[in-house]
Amino acid sequence: MSTIVATQTSCEVCGHTAWQHIDTLTSGIWDKQAKELKRQVLRFPIGQCQHCSHVQVTIPYTDAIFGALYFSNALEPDMWCDTPEGEKSPYEEMSAFFASYIKMGAHIVDFGAGGGATLKHIDSQFKEFSIKLSSVDFHDHIQSNTVEHITANLNQLDTILPHFAKYPINIAISTHVLEHIVEPVRYLTQMSECLVEDGIIFIEVPDCSPDAFTDNLGVTNIVHCQHIHYYTKDSLKLIAEKAGLKIINQQQLTTGDIPRLLLLLKKVTTVQISHHSVIKHSAKLAVEQRFSQYNGYLGALFNRIQQKLTQQEKVGLWGIGGDFYLLIQSYPSILTAIENQKIMLYDYELAGHTFAGQEILSSTGLELVVNIVYIVPIYAPTRERMTKLSQNWHPQIIDPYLDFE
């Protein structure tokens, strides 16, 4: 096991360096160079600024950390569970939020477009407006004839400002991106510099406001190693003001268990910010709830495993990722059971490697399993996909968290 360490950083809202520690997120990746897996561990302390109360990771995101977190150019999986029949998808809700601002010939640009789900929805629903669509991201995952792609590092938008000086933007959108950005004030400021005079910015972030839905944050990715900042309505109001913007509309929604905060921002001519601005309602409570709930899920899985082992039954674990690693860190007896061949390990991508001396089997063989196999990942969309994939397999493949929920 190796660990990347870093020194403390300053608050990206007020610049101060005094923090109240909330908790530490442990993440990492598997080193797969050898047959036996080793974990490269990354630890992210999360704190509340003692000056303005903003909540963020309190170490700097170095090139080494970015390299470990964004090591692949593969498209990230969708963060949403499947939309129930008859309900609007998150992308429909997003576009509906700013639809009244879409005008004929508008230039709409998605900063951090990813697979382009939002742009594709806009393209299909507003064809009569002859909209020009553009995406800004490090990789072009959209590969569309109707979407112009501009390659850029989202933390360095200054490199593409000349492009948008020639082709200014009517509506800039950036959904579930601001939490990944190192300097959110600078990011919003540079986005605003790309707008036409009356242009708007649409932002969506995970909502950590005290009045947001936070009953089941343990199954969400609201606290994630790639999330540098944790926002509330109050903190985003202050950040927008510092970027020379004002909120002209906001909405709180919940999709599945994910609380969402949608904002429309507009440039202001006069910036007035109190030098003693303090965020009244911070993200501290939501972050604390997530850790508490997540640990509850780990405990529920351990109890299910321990019950079977006590009955002298073999157990299988499917999904040898971050949750698995935290499980064995929290409950070392699980590692002992693996070493003693009492627990079998299954994972499609890691098949053929070994962990604690035991070979990891391919999940394609789960159709023939005879022992109880527990789905390990806690993240709801991953669990949903694994459950659907295995629904026609052996009934012994179980989601161990359903009773806990």
Query: Does residue 249 belong to any structural domain of this protein?
Result: yes
Pair 114, 225 in one domain? yes
| 339 located within any domain | yes
Q: Does some domain include residue 246?
A: yes
Q: What is the mean pLDDT of residues 127-144?
A: 90
**144 and 108 share one domain:** yes
Please indicate, yes or no, if residue 295 is contained in any of the structural domains: no
Evaluate if residue 170 carries a pLDDT over 80.
yes
For residue 84, is it within any domain? Answer: no
Q: Is residue 289 part of a domain?
A: no
Each residue's pLDDT tens digit, 58-97: 999 988 888 888 765 555 556 777 777 778 889 999 999 9
Residues 64 and 108 in one domain: no
- What is the CA angle 255-210-285, rounded to 5? 105
Mean pLDDT for the chain? 92
Q: What tens digit of pLDDT does each residue of 262-289 get?
A: 999 999 987 665 555 889 999 999 999 9
Query: Do 255 and 148 reside in the same domain of the chain?
Result: yes
Render pLDDT for 356-393 as a digit per residue (tens, 0 to 9).
Answer: 999 999 999 898 888 899 999 999 999 999 999 998 88
Q: In the numeric block, which tokens belong to residue 266? A: 């507009």
Q: Which residue matches tokens 């202001």?
A: 268
Within-domain flag for 261:
yes
Domain that holds residue 59: 2-69
Distances in Å between the Cα of 355 and the Cα atoms of 15, 79, 248, 359, 361 are 43, 28, 53, 7, 11
My answer on whether 215 and 253 are in the same domain is: yes
pTM for the predicted model, two decimal places:
0.93
260: left (phi over 0), alpha (psi -120 to 50) or beta: beta
Q: Does one domain contain both 94 and 214?
A: yes
Domain boundary among 11, 34, 69: 69
Domain boundary (216, 250, 282) is at 282
Q: Is residue 225 located within the same domain as residue 191?
A: yes
Same domain, 58 and 125: no
Q: Is residue 403 part of a domain?
A: no
Report the CATH number at residue 339: 3.40.50.20
Q: Same domain for 99 and 199?
A: yes
For residue 48, what pLDDT is reported? 98
Here the tokens at position 372 are: 């109880």
Asked whether the predicted pLDDT for residue 192 surpasses 70, the reply is yes
pLDDT tens, position by position, 10-39: 999 999 999 999 999 999 999 999 999 999
pLDDT digits 0-9 by tens, 94-110: 999 999 999 999 999 99
Both 101 and 206 in one domain: the answer is yes
Do the beta carbons of residue 111 and residue 154 sit within 8 Å?
yes
> Can you tell me the distance from the alpha carbon of 58 to that of 230, in angstroms, rounded to the nearest whole number?
12
Q: Is the pLDDT of residue 245 over 60?
A: yes
Same structural domain, 333 and 226: no
CATH number at residue 115: 3.40.50.150
Work out how many domains the chain is built from and give that number: 3
Same domain, yes or no: 277 and 313 = no
